[in-house]
Amino acid sequence: MLTEAVHTYLALRRATGFALRCEGIQLKSFAAFSETRGHHHVSSELAIEWAKLSPSVSQRARRLGTIIRFARYLRVEDPRHHVPSPIFGPEKLPRPTPYILTEDHIRQLIDAASRLGYRTLRRATYSTLFSLLACTGLRVSEAIRLRFDDITADGLVIRRSKFRKSRLVPVHETARAGLERYLHQRRTYAPFNDHVFVSLRRKPLRPADVDAAFRTAATHIGLPHGRGHARHTPHSLRHAFAVRALQTCPDGRDAICRHMVALSTYLGHSNVANTYWYLEAVPDLMRDIAEHAERFATGGRP
């Protein structure tokens, strides 16, 4: 009975766009675990026992969370299913504090990338890539998968990115001009590969390549890091874009709501809560919120 319920549940969730690869394996494992013990309904005790088979507390929390969601789905129609309590704590650890690059830092990183490394296409590749990440907020994985046909008159087509969603990202004319200058140089370097960004191997960039180039540039300009500082990565360019976009948000409840929804869509977030996270993760934005709240409390305009 549980095995059949797992197949029905997975089919329903996947039809709505969820991949559920690991979760599917876990649910099938739990169903087999329960049925070998003669249980055909979700049991809190067995769910906790099964989750404890993982070596770490964080893994146990994720496994139990999968069963909790499954049990809630089943209990709607059959109260014999028990919904376990999340005794191992939250499934997800707190998100790390983002490293927010200043505009000066971004300019220095791009300049360093344009001067470091071999006197080949490498310099143009990384200076252009970092510029694109900074002015569009793309994920690194999205940028390195771009192909020639994805650069359109309306913007960049981001195809089936994270959460299997596609979107169109408008770009400023200066960004488009920078891409064209790079492509003029890049097309002759690897004419049989249609990826926008390529390595010296004439193949698409790998995330590890981008990480290494970013670290080299960050070290060259002396970007603060280590104890007392958040960790800077290429993703910091995306964080910086999101924060700048939030800082330009107009006043007014309706305007703020529209701005947040638009930014969430632009960034490709699956949930607008991921965009609101920046408000509590960045001290500058928290200070802005506090100042607006104080003015409102004292009778001034928020």
Q: Looking at the annotation, which residues are catalytic?
A: 139, 162, 235, 238, 269, 278
Cβ-contact 97, 230 below 8 angstroms: yes
Cβ-contact 232, 241 below 8 angstroms: no
Question: How many Å separate Cα 120 from the centre of its chain?
Answer: 31
φ/ψ (deg, to 5) at 99? -90, 115
Q: HSE-up of 253 (CA within 13 Å, CB side)? A: 0
Q: Which residues of 246-279 are buried (b: 16+ CB within 10 A; e: fewer)?
A: beebeeeeeeeeebbeebbebbbbeeeeebeebe
All residues at 6 or more sequence positions from 85 whose CB lies less than 8 Å from its CB, including other chains: 44
Closest to 182 measured CA to CA, from 248, 218, 132, 238: 132
What single letter denotes the amino acid at residue 154? Answer: D
C-alpha to C-alpha distances, 287 to 51, 281, 292, nearest whole angstrom: 41, 11, 9
Query: How far apart are alpha carbons 251 and 249 in whole angstroms?
Result: 7
